[in-house]
A = this chain, B = another copy of it.
C-alpha cells in the first residue's frame, strides 16, 4: 500500500490535514521555556521585586528577613538568578549586596513579549 493512498484515505476520513509542523522548533521552544522557568517561582519573583523596589542594593540578610525561607534557600535562588544574568552581586566587607540588572530584565521581558505575541 503506497503513501499517497494512505494520505488520501486519511483526508477522506475527515480528520487529519497534511503536514502540520511547528513554526517554533524544539530548540526555540526550549529557549523560551528556560526564559519562563527562571521567573516561574514565587520566591524568585519576590526577590526580583525586592531588588527592583530598593533599586540600590540589598544584602542577603535583609532578603532572608523579608522572606519565609532559610538562608541557604535564599542563596540558592540568588545563584539561579545570577546565573540567568538577571542580578549581580558585590561583596562589601562581610556582606554581599545584590542588585537587579535592569537591562537584563528588560531584555528578557522583550523576548517574552515578542514570542508570546507570535502565539496568536
Contacts and interface: CB of A to CB of B under 8 A. Distances in A.
Interface of A: 14-17, 20-24, 26, 29-30, 32-33, 36-37, 39-43, 45-46, 48-50, 52-54, 58-59, 61-63, 65-68, 92-95, 100, 102, 105-106, 108-109, 112-113, 116-120
**Copies of this chain held together in the complex:** 2
A117 to B, nearest CB: 7
Contact of A26 (B26, B61, B68, B112): B68
Given A40-B40, A52-B120, A119-B52, A45 B66 contact: no
Contacts of A43: 29
A33 B24 contact: no
